Amino acid sequence: MHYTNIRRGTFIDRPNRFIAHINIKGSAETVHVKNTGRCAELLVPGAVVYVQESDKPDRKTKWDLIAVKKGSRMVNMDSQIPNHLVKEWLEEGNLFKDITRIRPEYTYGSSRFDLYVEADGKKIFIEVKGVTLEEDGVVRFPDAPSDRAVKHVEELKLAVKEGYEAYVFFVVQMKDVRYFTPNMDTHPAFGEALMDAARAGVHILSYDCDVRKDDIHIADEVPVVFDQFDQRADNAACADEAVKRSDSDLADVVEPVIAWYREHKRDLPWRREADAYRVWVSEIMLQQTRVEAVKPYYERFLRELPTVKKLAEAQEDMLLKLWEGLGYYNRVRNMQKAAQQIMADYNGEFPNTYEEIRLLKGIGNYTAGAISAFAYGIPKPAVDGNVLRVISRITGSREDIGKQSVRKKIEELLEPVIPRDAAGDFNQGLIELGALVCVPNGEPKCGECPAAGFCAAREQGAAAEIPVKSKGKARRIEDRTVFLFRDGRKLAIRKRPSKGLLAGLYEFPGVSGHLSLSEAAAYSKKIGLMPVRIKALGEAKHIFSHIEWHMVGYEILVDELERTNEKGFLFISPEEIEKEYPIPSAYESYTRYAGIRE
Whole-angstrom Cα distance, residue 10 to residue 28? 9
Q: Pick the closest to residue 253 from 110, 15, 458 (CA basis).
A: 458
Q: Would you call 555 helix, strand, or coil by DSSP?
A: strand
At 307, give phi and psi (nearest 5°): -135, 165
Q: How far is CA 363 from the centre of its chain?
A: 8
Positions of E strands within 183-274: 203-212, 215-221
User: Is residue 580 within 8 Å of residue 322, measured between CB atoms?
Assistant: no
User: Is residue 125 within 8 Å of residue 167, measured between CB atoms?
Assistant: yes
- Pairing state between β 99-108 and 491-495: unpaired
DSSP 442: S
User: Is residue 175 within 8 Å of residue 208, measured between CB atoms?
Assistant: yes
In sequence order, the 6+-apart residues with CB closer than 8 A to the CB of 167 are 124, 125, 126, 127, 156, 202, 203, 204, 205
Greatest Cα pair distance in the chain: 80
Whole-angstrom Cα distance, residue 283 to residue 565? 44
Say if residue 26 is exposed, middle or buried (CB neighbours under 10 Å; 0-12, 13-18, 19+).
exposed
Positions of E strands within 450-490: 476-486
**CA distances from residue 361 to 245, 512, 596 in whole angstroms, order as listed:** 35, 34, 33
User: Is residue 456 within 8 Å of residue 245, measured between CB atoms?
Assistant: yes
Is residue 411 annotated as part of the catalytic site, yes or no? no
DSSP 186: T
CA quadruple 426, 335, 126, 478: dihedral sign:
negative
User: Of 92, 155, 283, 399, which residue is the catalytic one?
Assistant: 283
Three-state SS string over 294-349 comes to HHHHHHHHHHHCCCHHHHHHCCHHHHHHHHCCCCCCHHHHHHHHHHHHHHHHHCCC
Active site residues: 283
